Amino acid sequence: MACGPWRNAAWPPSLTPPSRMLGPRRPTWPWFSWNAWASSASWDKLAELHGNMFVEECPKCKTQYVRDTVVGTMGLKATGRLCTVAKARGLRACRGELRDTILDWEDSLPDRDLMLADEASRTADLSVTLGTSLQIRPSGNLPLATKRRGGRLVIVNLQPTKHDRQADLRIHGYVDEVMCKLMKHLGLEIPAWDGPCVLDKALPPLPRPVALKAEPPVHLNGAVHVSYKPKPNSPILHRPPKRVKTEAAPS
């Protein structure tokens, strides 16, 4: 796994990977991701094994569209937009039904991205895993290919991972803090972020209403009488309604 710039108009940039490593005077590394973030790295050096929430793809012509905001669906579902790529001879647009690229549990990994990630892992001198427990296979085992061929493995994660014993260096900490120190050590400047920055907070949901208990039917002269009584002194939890609150993040 290697490094490239990550930023999008709808999200603050992450310090993972460092933003300047793909500059014109820096060596470029292929890197792969199984997180659904947006990236401005060169697409031919990017393998997104589990999809990207900012990307939708046409199943007919395989054209991918990178959006400024989340496409709105998950699980390779239709997004409601159509492909606008012109067909051969420019007669009319493809009009394929665009779908998101986020995989569900039963979906297979994309062949092109898996091959690129596997090749990069086998030929890399160093694999750096950032913020992942490495539990999901086969993507979680890809960094081990670097070790098997004499390379080094660095793992940065808050909790222990299943491959900690294989790592040459383990750092248990926040990825952004680690990468910020690395950028400072390398003498690389982190670009300022001037886009929107928000925090989403969800309050606990309301409890389900207490179901009224039906009394057994009483037979009166052949007629059936059914009455409902609420359970006396039943505890009722009072909680604020569920809502999503958007606040400006402190600078």
SS (H, E, C) 76-130: CCEEEEECCCECHHHCCECCCEEEECCCCCCCCCCHHHHHHHHHHHHHCCEEEEE
Mean pLDDT to the nearest integer, 201-219: 62
Task: State whether 70 and 90 are in the same domain.
Answer: yes
Confirm whether 219 is a catalytic residue.
no
In the listed set 58, 88, 107, which residue is the last one of a domain according to the structure?
Answer: 107
Contacts of 178 (CB under 8 A, 6+ apart): 130, 156, 171
Look at 96 and 220; give whichever has higher pLDDT. 96
Using CA atoms, how far apart are residues 42 and 176, in angstroms rounded to an integer? 22
0.85 surpassed by pTM: no
**Is 94 known to sit in a ligand binding site?**
yes
Using CA atoms, how far apart are residues 170 and 148, in angstroms rounded to an integer? 18
**Is 61 known to sit in a ligand binding site?**
yes
Mean pLDDT to the nearest integer, 194-217: 59
Look at 139 and 217; give whichever has higher pLDDT. 139
Check pLDDT > 70 for residue 21. no
Tell me what percent of the residues of the chain surpass a pLDDT of 90.
Answer: 26
Q: Which of 50, 172, 225, 238 is catalytic?
A: 50
Report the domain count for the chain.
2
Tell me the residue range of the domain where 133 lies. 108-191
Between the ranges 81-90, 93-102, 231-240, where is the mean pLDDT highest?
Answer: 93-102
Task: State whether 178 and 118 are in the same domain.
Answer: yes
Mean pLDDT to the nearest integer, 25-34: 45
**Is 3 known to sit in a ligand binding site?**
no
Residue written as token pair 């949901």: 205
Cβ proximity of 170 and 163 under 8 Å: no
Is residue 197 in some structural domain? Answer: no
Strand extents, DSSP E, the chain: 31-33, 46-48, 55-57, 64-66, 78-82, 97-100, 126-130, 152-156, 169-171, 198-202, 213-214, 218-220, 223-225, 228-229, 244-248
